[in-house]
Amino acid sequence: MIHPTAIIDPTARVPGSCSIGPYCIVGADVELGENCELMSHVVIHGPAKIGVGNRFFPFCAIGTEPQDLTYKGEKTRVEIGDHNVIREYVTINRGTAKGGGTTKIGSNTLLMAYSHIGHDSVIGDRAMLVNGATLAGHVTVEEWAVVGALCPVHQFVRIGAHSYIGGGTVITKDVLPFSKCVTPRHTQAYGLNAIGLERRGFSKERIHKIHHAFRVLLNSKLNTTQAVEKLHSEGDQGEDVAMLLRFIAEAERGIIK
């Protein structure tokens, strides 16, 4: 299952169930899981640990050196989970020593063509990066979030779970879980990502509670601190609203409203 033009480093671990296509390069200290497919012209540098059932499309570059001027050749790594689809020309840089040393991709993600994941970033399960989405270093994208086409994301920003960012949106602050965010003239939140939540099996009751929290946060005349205090004063609003409030409390760059 290895094409004769492929180059596999002797230290790489490639199970017999993997398919390595023409002109692929699998570097030193790369560990592939079972049933991975490298179509053609795929480059994977190590150290890298990659789970099972991942598909790498032509010309993607995985585990290359971080684009960080302070990087001096430290032995950092990339970790990728299971059943991810990594499309053409995707670039994933490994971590830096100062950032923890590891860039992490979860499982069942879709990374579309030309998207970039910078050093020390963390991508949650079932997240999606649409064509040309660009993550600077130290970015966190939580589970089920969608980063739209051609979106640049500032370093150290968090993209909350189940959120949706419209194409071409410049992200410089944390994006609230469950929210829709797009740039017409300036970046702002446009309420709840209700359709996405329905597709993922959220009950009407769960969505209603999240919607109420968004109305208090975004549509009242209260500032963020006052809105959070009001929601806390209303008692237990469920796990989703509690996660939303924790997300706001931990924001270091502010939130998009």
Active site residue 236: no
Q: What is the mean pLDDT of residues 154-167?
A: 96
To the query of whether residue 148 is one of the catalytic residues in this protein, the response is: no
Residues 94-131: b if buried by 16+ CB within 10 A, e if exposed: bbbbebebbbbbbbbbebbbbbbbbbbbbbbbbbbbbb
pLDDT digits (tens, 9 = 90+) for 162-172: 999 999 999 99
Catalytic (active site) residue 137:
yes
Burial of 236 (0-12, 13-18, 19+ CB in 10 A): exposed
Confidence of residue 149 (pLDDT cuts 50, 70, 90): very high
Specify the pLDDT at position 189.
78
Q: What is the CATH number of domain 1-141?
A: 2.160.10.10
The one catalytic residue in 119, 138, 148, 160 is: 119
Single pTM value for the model:
0.89
Given 82, 120, 174, 240, the catalytic residue: 120
Average pLDDT, the chain: 95
* 185: confidence class by pLDDT, cuts 50, 70, 90: low
- Is 195-250 assigned to CATH 1.20.1180.10? yes
* CA–CA gap between residue 82 and residue 34 (Å, rounded): 10
Name residues whose C-beta falls within 8 Å of residue 203's C-beta, 6 or more positions apart in sequence.
Answer: none
The domain spans of the chain are: 1-141, 195-250
Specify the pLDDT at position 219: 84
Residues 34-76: pLDDT tens digits?
999 999 999 999 999 999 999 999 999 999 999 999 999 999 9
Q: Assess whether pLDDT exceeds 80 at residue 143.
A: yes
**Which residue in the list 21, 106, 137, 160 is annotated as catalytic?**
137
Q: Are 1-141 and 195-250 in the same CATH fold? A: no
The pLDDT of 232-254, averaged and rounded, is 92
CA distances from 205 to 192, 195, 216, 224, 236 (A): 14, 14, 17, 24, 14
Q: What pLDDT, on a 0 to 100 scale, did the predictor assign at position 237?
A: 86
